[in-house]
C-alpha cells in the first residue's frame, strides 16, 4: 500500500476515534509494520502542526485535539468557560492515587487524613479513577487506579510521564518565589469533556 493511502486511512481512524488509537492497532488494521505507522504519523503530525486541529500523542496512542493557543475560543463556542474544575481535595486525592496506585481507600484516607467518600465519587463519575481489582487483605477491599481518561485529560503518554517528587519540590519552591496573586499555568491540549468517554 502506498504511503499517501496509509496516511489517509490513519487520518480517518484517528479522526473517528473517541479514544487514542495505538500504533499497534493501526499496524494490525492496515497490515503494515510499526515503523511504517510511526513514519506516517510523523508526516501527519508535521502536516497538522500549524492547523486548528492537531494529532497529539496521549495514553499510548494518537488523538485529534485543538491546540492550546485556541482553547479560549473553543471553550467560548462550546460553553466550557463555566466548566466545573476539580476541587483541591479532588486534586490531592487524584494525585495520591496516581502516584500510589493501586491503592485501597483506607490507605488513601490515612495519607489524606480525612474521609474520601465524596471525592472518590466525583473522581469515579468523571472517569478519572476506576476500580482495578481487589486487595488480598481481610475484607478484600477495592484497589483504585487512574484511567485512560486521566492520561488524556492531563496530556500524558503514560503514567511514567508524571513528574517525580524532586521535580514537584522544585516547582513548589519556584512557585513560592513568585509574586503573590500571580497565577501561571500551561494548558497542554484542549480536549473537550466527553471526547475520551
**Per-residue pLDDT reduced to its tens digit, 47-103:** 999 999 999 999 999 999 999 899 888 887 776 545 567 888 999 999 999 999 999
Does 153 lie in the same domain as 92? yes
192 part of a folded domain: no
54 part of a folded domain: yes
Contacts of 18 (CB under 8 A, 6+ apart): 195, 196, 197
Cell of 16: 473517528
Does 158 lie in the same domain as 92? yes
187 part of a folded domain: no
**What are the Cα distances from residue 11, in Å, to 15, 45, 151, 159?**
6, 10, 21, 26
Closest CA to 191 of 160, 133, 150: 150
Average pLDDT, the chain: 85
pLDDT mean over 14-27: 94
Residue with the bigger pLDDT between 96 and 182: it is: 96
Q: Which of 24, 50, 65 is the last residue of a domain?
A: 65
Question: How many domains is the chain built from?
Answer: 2
129 part of a folded domain: yes
Does 96 lie in the same domain as 53? no
Does 55 lie in the same domain as 10? yes
11 part of a folded domain: yes
Q: Is the separation of the CB atoms in 112 and 99 below 8 Å?
A: no
pLDDT value for 75: 80
**Domain limits for position 130:** 88-162
Cell 496530556 belongs to 155
pLDDT value for 27: 95
Cell of 185: 499555568
Q: Helix (H, G, I), strand (E, B), or coil: what is residue 144?
A: strand
Other residues' Cβ atoms within 10 Å of the Cβ of residue 34: 11
pLDDT in tens, 119-157: 999 999 989 999 999 999 999 999 999 999 899 888 888
Q: What's the CATH number where 55 sits?
A: 1.10.10.10
Does 141 lie in the same domain as 105? yes
Please state whether beta strands 54-58 and 103-104 pair in parallel, antiparallel, or not at all (unpaired).
unpaired
Q: Which of 31, 65, 99 is the last residue of a domain?
A: 65
Does 61 lie in the same domain as 94? no
Task: Give the span between the Cα atoms of 97 and 147, in whole angstroms.
Answer: 11
pTM of the model: 0.58
Amino acid at each position: 500500500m502506498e504511503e499517501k493511502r496509509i496516511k489517509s486511512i490513519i487520518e480517518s481512524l484517528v479522526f473517528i476515534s473517541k479514544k487514542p488509537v495505538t500504533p499497534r492497532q493501526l499496524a494490525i488494521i492496515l497490515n503494515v509494520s510499526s515503523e511504517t505507522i510511526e513514519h506516517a504519523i510523523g508526516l501527519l503530525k508535521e502536516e497538522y502542526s500549524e492547523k486548528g486541529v492537531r494529532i497529539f500523542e496521549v495514553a499510548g496512542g494518537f488523538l485529534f485535539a485543538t491546540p492550546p493557543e485556541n482553547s479560549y475560543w473553543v471553550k467560548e463556542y462550546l460553553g466550557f468557560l463555566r466548566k466545573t474544575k476539580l476541587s483541591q481535595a479532588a486534586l490531592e486525592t487524584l494525585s495520591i492515587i496516581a502516584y500510589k496506585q493501586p491503592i485501597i481507600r483506607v490507605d488513601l484516607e490515612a495519607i489524606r487524613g480525612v474521609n474520601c467518600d465524596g471525592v472518590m465519587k466525583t473522581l469515579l463519575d468523571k472517569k478519572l479513577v476506576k476500580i482495578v481489582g481487589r486487595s488480598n487483605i481481610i475484607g478484600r477491599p477495592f484497589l483504585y487506579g487512574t484511567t485512560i481518561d486521566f492520561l488524556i485529560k492531563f496530556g500524558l503518554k503514560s503514567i511514567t510521564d508524571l513528574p517525580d517528587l524532586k521535580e514537584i519540590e522544585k516547582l513548589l519552591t519556584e512557585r513560592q518565589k513568585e509574586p503573590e496573586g500571580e497565577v501561571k499555568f500551561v494548558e497542554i491540549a484542549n480536549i473537550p469533556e466527553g471526547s475520551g468517554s
